[in-house]
Chain A
Amino acid sequence: MKTTMKTTKANRDVSARGHRVRSVLRRSASVATALGILAVGAGLAAPARAAGRAPTCELRENIQLRDAIGNVFTKALYCDNLPSDVYARADFASPVTGWLKMSPSWFPCFTTGPADTQGDKTWYYTQGDQVGTMPKIKGWGVVPAEVVRLPAGTQRPYPDLPRCPWF
């Protein structure tokens, strides 16, 4: 059974979708909690997302993360996010390689592109939770800054997060 999602421009729709999106996340979180999350190995396991859990947004090091085109990352921002289209390039007209649906997510590097609705030009690299176009890329791409729920006052781009070397 395939889940489809409208590929609307994220920068205009993010705020409007916020409410519906948050209820989607809570449903997904309760499913995950009910099924249990097996945390095997170090570094990457996420805790079950219960109602009222404190927000997550931190740089995690000594991890192992690899995208579909051979980039290996040993640190990444692990942060709450809004659902969003994941773009092949930092460009709202770019193909949508996937969709971020779950939260939090891993963001191992950043690049720059057109500003989001808040004027931030940072775009964060991540892997979506559902693959869109270009299936061999397995949903990897970039999201505009406001998708990543950085705490108010956080320096942009997130401190000590590397720039993606290939963009």
Chain B
Amino acid sequence: MADRDAVRRPRRARRVIPGVLCALAGVLMPPGQAAAAGDAAECRLRPTEQHIDWTGRRYTGDLLCEVEPGHIRLQSRSTSPVIGTMLYSPAWFVCWKQGSSYPGTDLWYLTQGDQVVATPAAKAWGYMPATSVKAPEHPFPGLAKCPWT
């Protein structure tokens, strides 16, 4: 039932979903951002976006970037358990760090996935390898480095 175009077709959303979702649609689609098929791959910093992860840690600023749907791991190691899945693109990432080698990279980005697979308490918060994040450069310039090792 994934209707990933619901957010991208504001007129349809407003006709079908009155009330608070009009406000939500307004919040989620800033002017000039109405995306259609054929847009260039999106990958940009959002310096004022805020997030709080499952441990209560706060982040200010993220990277919104097209992503290859795939596994989210609990730690920045290719041997770490898969605890979630990223289903949709683009996705946001709150920081990057160096981790274990993964085919093609040793950089990882912290995010929240779209589906919990295991470790329910983590609510799909974990790492994707840089090779899944469709950025022109890794680590993406201007994105915070995760403040832990």
Contact = CB atoms under 8 A, between A and B. Distances in A.
B1 A88 contact: no
B120 interface: yes
Contacts of B24: 69, 88, 134, 137
Consensus secondary structure, chain A interface? loop
Interface in A89-139: 89, 94-96, 101-103, 127, 129-139
Interface residues of B, number: 40
A28 B7 CA distance: 31
A66 B50 contact: yes
Contact of A94 (B7, B17, B121): B17
A42 B53 CA distance: 12
B20 A31 contact: no
Contacts of A137: 24, 28
A65 B116 CA distance: 17
Interface of A: 1-4, 7, 28, 31-32, 35-46, 49, 63-66, 69-70, 72, 88-89, 94-96, 101-103, 127, 129-139, 166-167
Given A44-B55, A129-B115, 5 more contacts: A35-B83, A37-B119, A133-B1, A135-B88, A138-B112
